[in-house]
Amino acid sequence: MDHPFMVDVARELALRGVATLRYQFPYIERGARRPDPPQLAQATVRAAVAATLGLLPELPLIAGGKSFGGRMTSQTQAKASLQGVCGLAFLGFPLHPAGRPTQDRGEHLFDIQIPMLFLQGTRDTLAALDQLEPLCKKLGRRATLKLFADADHSFRVPARTGRKDAQVLGDVLDALAAWLDGVTDRPGKKS
């Protein structure tokens, strides 16, 4: 949760009037490289959602995350709805391993009945566009896909684009805040 990307996201969302709760999976706490098994990761997601509801029960809650965190959140929601969660937002959904395009890791998304936002770079090797776009189309109105030209899985762009990574992250978070306004009744949201 202290990764510079996550710190930047939380700080920038706060500037847009969006509160965040960052948490870590147990494998990170242990300093391990191998991710937790899905059952433990999903229990962690449920605990984080419950803690958030305990802290701010009056605010609309969107769950999600970056990469593994987003996928574990979606799997958790697919198994049994997360109490109080009205949408899911993914910052770089890892649809498949790098270089092995498939939609298998997205099958559980069809069990989710709340809005989902996919924020993806067009150069994301963990979500080939020829796999992600048809998946989102099949999900129908539940799925919103926002693409960021030339960005990779971490929303970094090559210098040749003339854009800075911070600009791209700003665009990503502007898209997230606008989507939040559409699916929630955020206090103080801009009309």
120: β partners:
147
144: tokens are 């919103």
Which residues does 116 contact at the CB level (< 8 Å), separation at least 6? 74, 87, 88, 89, 90, 109, 139, 142, 143, 144
At residue 1, the pLDDT reads: 80
What is the domain-level CATH number for residue 158? 3.40.50.1820
3-state helix, strand, coil in the chain (%, to 5): 50, 15, 40
Nearest to 66 by CA among 97, 92, 95: 92
Q: pLDDT digit of tens for each residue in the chain (191 aa)?
A: 888 889 999 999 999 999 999 999 999 999 999 999 999 999 999 999 999 999 988 889 999 999 999 999 999 999 999 999 999 999 999 999 998 988 989 999 999 999 999 999 999 999 999 999 999 999 999 999 999 999 999 999 999 999 999 999 999 999 999 999 998 865 555 43
| Within-domain flag for 31 | yes
At residue 184, the pLDDT reads: 84
At residue 127, the pLDDT reads: 96
| Within-domain flag for 17 | yes
Task: Please indicate, yes or no, whether the overall pTM of this predicted structure exceeds 0.85.
Answer: yes
| Within-domain flag for 9 | yes
> Which residue segment(s) compose the domain that 17 sits in?
4-183
| Within-domain flag for 25 | yes
Neighbours of 145 (CB within 10 A): 19
Count: domains in the chain: 1
| Within-domain flag for 191 | no
Which contacts (CB < 8 Å, 24+ apart) does range 127-133 have?
127/92, 127/93, 127/94, 127/95, 127/96, 127/153, 128/95, 128/96, 128/101, 130/101, 131/95, 131/96, 131/101, 131/102, 131/103, 131/106, 132/93, 132/95
| Within-domain flag for 107 | yes
CA dihedral (75, 21, 33, 95) positive or negative = positive
| Within-domain flag for 189 | no
The answer to whether 35 and 68 are in contact (CB under 8 A) is yes
| Within-domain flag for 41 | yes
